[in-house]
Structure 1
Amino acid sequence: MNYRHSFHAGNSADVVKHSLLIALVRALQLKESALTLMDTHAGCGLYDLRGDEAQRTGEAVSGVLRAFADPTPLLDDYRAAVRAVNMGGEPHLYPGSPRFLAQLLRPQDVLILNEKHPQDAHTLRAVMRDTRAAVHERDAYELWLAMLPPRTARGVVVVDPPYEQTDERARITATLAAAHRKWAHGVTVIWFPLKDRATHQQWKQQLRKLGIPKLLRVEHWLYDSEQPGIYNGAGLFIVNPPYAFTQTLPPLLEALRAALAPEGHKGEILSGWLNE
């Protein structure tokens, strides 16, 4: 499966990821002190839903377009952020995490973006030209550690790799362990695809061994039973989520499940502390 984001922009995984990212940052911003927001795999920053790559998969139909058609007010913040990069009704452009994060910036906050792919990094710089973002073109895992601890006392690191390398999960696990030693109180968000439960269970076991006390997992399973060999959903691991975020999470997750469930399926979103 090709995880390059231009093929999958605006899919169900994006809706869940970006809805939760907005809620998480807003919860952290209940305190006035500055935040550093860092995206280690930033991508292009903005995607054309009418372009060849997005049209080839058509995944936005079961993602962002479903979210726009659903009446729940719990997705209003998400829809407003998507509308901010579009003109008119149905969205034809989809903001990547960098554009979502840029919209959330307060004057005291800092945004650091990284994209190793040269062509995508060039596009990202153009897309983010109207923001205060600093754009880097480095190895994501090297940058993740090099930037910790950030200059501000608080911050969020978003790790959203394409999972094209067989050792991606191992690299994330090793880097997270080192990052937690450097910045134990920091908030980290790790996106992951779900293909089969066995592989995911093995990774969760490896992450449990890190002994991180506050490691929340959110899993969005699209189908009522596992569909072998295909994309079954996606989710997030979140280190040190703020209390205000965890309190608002259950109704938001239920709204997302209901909005994104494929026809003939109820879907399932599981959440809880990994070490419980």
Structure 2
Amino acid sequence: MNYRHSFHAGNSADVVKHSLLIALVRALQQKEGALTLIDTHAGCGLYDLGSEEAQRTGEAMHGVLRAFADTNPLLDDYRAAVRAVNDGPEPRLYPGSPHILAQLLRPQDFLILNEKHPEDVHALRSAMRGTSAAVHQRDAYELWLALLPTRTPRGVVVVDPPYEQTDERARITATLAAATRKWAHGVTVIWYPLKDRATHSRWKDQLRRLGIPKFLCVEHWLYDDDQSGIYNGAGLFIVNPPYAFTQALPPLLMALRAALAPEGHSGEITSDWLGR
């Protein structure tokens, strides 16, 4: 599955991913200690919702625009992050994870971004100008391991690939296993698209066999039944989520489900511990 960010910016998956990412980092920041935030597949950093790519899919209409039309205060932090890169009442630009993470930085925190695609890394450097982010152009999985353990005692690695390669899931599994050996207490967030439940179930079985003790799985299925051959939703694997985050998660997931469910479908967002 090819999932280039520019075609899907601001869709329902982005709303869920970025809402949870904000909540996760804020939960970690309840402690004063510095954080190192690493985004292994950073993309362009900032996206034009009026671009040909975004208009071709029109997915922002069912994602960020629905979140903006919603009034639930639990989505206020997400909406504020999007408003921060826009002037008007409705979003014309959409901040990718790099921009959202940059907004969350405290003076003691560090942000490291990586993007291998030549055109995207050029756009990323331009989008992040004026921030303290360090930008790399390396193989994502090599960088993931090379930067562990992080320079600060605590950190978050965000892994958000386009799933262009057939071995993407295998590389994630192998790298996560190695990363856990180097950095057992670290927080890792892995985003993935959902197309069919059988394929995803097999991958979860492989990840479960890694034996990671605190491995949370959050899944957002858009439709009541799988729609054959199309994007059905997305999820996040979160290794070592902090207690404050998991305690606040249920009402946030309910708010996201209500805001994003397609017409005629109730939608489903679940959170479960892998292996329990």
TM-score by length of 1: 0.99
Alignment of 1:152-191 (within 5 A): 152-191=152-191
1:50 maps to a residue whose letter is: G
Structure 1 gaps of 5+ residues are none
1:79-117 CA distance string (max 9 Å, x none): 000000000111000000000000000000000000000
2:86 maps to a residue whose letter is: N
Find the aligned partners of 1:207 and 1:51 in 2 and give their Cα distance.
37
SS, match of residue 226 in structure 2: coil
1:155 maps to a residue whose letter is: G
Find the aligned partners of 1:193 and 1:3 in 2 and give their Cα distance.
8
Find the aligned partners of 1:71 and 1:98 in 2 and give their Cα distance.
26
1:28-55 CA distance string (max 9 Å, x none): 0000000000000000000000010000
- 1:228 to partner: Cα distance: 1.1
1:223-265 CA distance string (max 9 Å, x none): 0111111100001000000000000000000000000000000
- 1:270 to partner: Cα distance: 1.2
Tell me whether 1:45 sits opposite 2:45 in the alignment. Answer: yes
SS, match of residue 248 in structure 2: helix
SS, match of residue 119 in structure 1: helix
Find the aligned partners of 1:2 and 1:76 in 2 and give their Cα distance.
31
Find the aligned partners of 1:6 and 1:47 in 2 and give their Cα distance.
6
Structure 1 ranges of 4+ moved more than 4 A: none
2:260 maps to a residue whose letter is: L
1:164-208 CA distance string (max 9 Å, x none): 111000000000000000000000000000000000000000000
2:252 corresponding residue in structure 1: 252
Find the aligned partners of 1:113 and 1:57 in 2 and give their Cα distance.
27
2:4 maps to a residue whose letter is: R
SS, match of residue 79 in structure 1: helix
Find the aligned partners of 2:183 and 2:118 in 1 and give their Cα distance.
29
1:236 corresponding residue in structure 2: 236
2:21 corresponding residue in structure 1: 21
Find the aligned partners of 1:50 and 1:225 in 2 and give their Cα distance.
31
- 1:2 to partner: Cα distance: 3.5
Alignment of 1:8-87 (within 5 A): 8-87=8-87
Identity %: 84
SS, match of residue 86 in structure 2: coil
Alpha carbon RMSD of aligned pairs, Å?
A: 0.5
Tell me whether 1:106 sits opposite 2:106 in the alignment. Answer: yes
TM-score by length of 2: 0.99
Structure 2 gaps of 5+ residues are none
Find the aligned partners of 1:160 and 1:244 in 2 and give their Cα distance.
23
1:66 maps to a residue whose letter is: R
1:99 maps to a residue whose letter is: H
SS, match of residue 263 in structure 2: coil
2:139 corresponding residue in structure 1: 139
Find the aligned partners of 2:49 and 2:131 in 1 and give their Cα distance.
22
1:119-170 CA distance string (max 9 Å, x none): 1101101110110000000000000000000110000000000001110000
1:88 corresponding residue in structure 2: 88
Find the aligned partners of 1:2 and 1:235 in 2 and give their Cα distance.
16
Find the aligned partners of 2:57 and 2:225 in 1 and give their Cα distance.
22
